[in-house]
Amino acid sequence: MSGKIPRSPDEDYTRDMAQVRQKYIQEKTGVELRNVGSYSFDPAILKGNIENFFGVSQVPIGLAGPLLVNGEHARGEFYVPLATTEGTLVASYNRGMKLVRESGGVKTTVTDDAMQRAPVFIFDDARAAREFGTWIDLNFTDIKANAEKSTSIGKLRNIEKYQMGKIMFLRFNFTTGDAAGQNMVGKATYFACQWIMQRNQNVRRHALSGNIDTDKKHSLMNTLHSRGKRVTAEVVIPRDLLHDTVRMYPEHAIQMRWVATMGSFMAGSNNNGQHSANGITALFIATGQDVANVAESSSALVYAELTPEMDYYYSITIPSLIVAAYGGGTGLATQRECMEMLGCAGKGNAAKFAEIVAATVICGELSLGAAIMAGDWVSSHEKMGRNR
């Protein structure tokens, strides 16, 4: 039954070719793609974003907001598009946004920003690997020059070195402007490695990734050292407002956060918060971010305190939030409209978008936290979501 998926070398990104493939699918599987085949844009825009295009997934988007942000890049009220199929998600984030608004808004701060590629080099012995490390330091200027040949935007900031026996893992850190930059830094590192391999005769084997990047995978490395944006959202909920909302005073809420933190610690989790992945994923799908990065970007660090005024200080730090303001899927039809809704379309807006993501995430944390604490978590799912 096997067959070859139809392709057109010259004009593959057309409605016609999409239909050819739809028919091919119908022939092979018997399924008529009435909805998948319905889309509002010219497939020509998809070149560089996908291969064998045959239709779209229509993911419903709900509106949450206004979200009040006191960021360094994002300032004011934002209406947040959340693309999801999970009932109660939008409502929950929306409820959190109300609570935050009534508390004076979210303060957001990007504290670090870099994208990595981590090649690996294998030597005859540990001494050769160590000498290579020294050699890398001495030749940093040349390595940087070679890396940056392939990109006008990416800048090689520094190279971290992690040695295990005769293996040297390097971790190249680039700034990548308003692009997410994985491909950019992959290419730049490739050129740097080409130069290294030509000049250094001691390398026995080499690969462009030794898995400590760690691309599309969670790692403590990235939680510690950041990947993409490291961004914090902070909010202070007035004591009485908290109690009105969740029938709980800050002291109790803080204690429950520590209990949950110990649960996360003992479970070996990458996140002592609650469901940051929900908001991040919904925003990523809506705005054309690389959604697979949820693997890394779902890591989060929550910290809460009682303020001197006895109010509830709450913060979340997302240590490896990978976002772009242009490139990738951000320029596609619906995705660009959603980026525009946030005032984040195009260059100069990556940090602003990162702040909005973090601000959104903290609203969802507060909302679910409130629900769990107030004991109505199940019942709110009951009302709004299907019983799955």
- Rounded least distance, CB 11 to its own copies, Å: 16
113: enclosing H helix or E strand: strand 106-117
114: enclosing H helix or E strand: strand 106-117
CB 344 within 8 A of CB 70: no
- Rounded least distance, CB 139 to its own copies, Å: 19
Per the annotation, the verdict on 382 as an active-site residue is: no
In residues, how long is the chain? 388
- Rounded least distance, CB 8 to its own copies, Å: 14
**CA–CA dist 115, 193 (Å, integer):** 17
By CB under 8 A, residue 234 contacts its own copies: yes
**Burial label, 30 (beta-carbon count in 10 A; 0-12, 13-18, 19+):** exposed
Give residues 145-164 in contact with its own copies (rule: CB under 8 A): 151, 162-164
For its own copies, the binding residue among 146, 182, 349, 367 (CB under 8 A) is: 182
For its own copies, the binding residue among 109, 173, 349, 360 (CB under 8 A) is: 109
Per the annotation, the verdict on 86 as an active-site residue is: yes
CB 182 within 8 A of CB 189: no
Which of the stretches 137-145, 237-245, 269-277, 347-355 binds its own copies when contact is defined by CB under 8 A? 269-277
Per the annotation, the verdict on 381 as an active-site residue is: yes
By CB under 8 A, residue 338 contacts its own copies: yes
- Rounded least distance, CB 76 to its own copies, Å: 7
Q: Which residue has the tokens 């080499």?
A: 206
CB 209 within 8 A of CB 119: yes
Give residues 5-64 in contact with its own copies (rule: CB under 8 A): 5, 21, 24-25, 28-29, 31-36, 38-41, 43, 46, 48-64
**CA–CA dist 267, 41 (Å, integer):** 45
For its own copies, the binding residue among 19, 148, 256, 346 (CB under 8 A) is: 256
| Active-site residue, from 12, 113, 178, 290 | 290
3-state DSSP call for residue 206?
A: strand
For its own copies, the binding residue among 120, 159, 354, 361 (CB under 8 A) is: 120
Closest alpha carbon to 92 in 280, 279, 303, 302: 279
For its own copies, the binding residue among 270, 320, 349, 367 (CB under 8 A) is: 270
Q: Which residues are catalytic?
A: 86, 290, 381
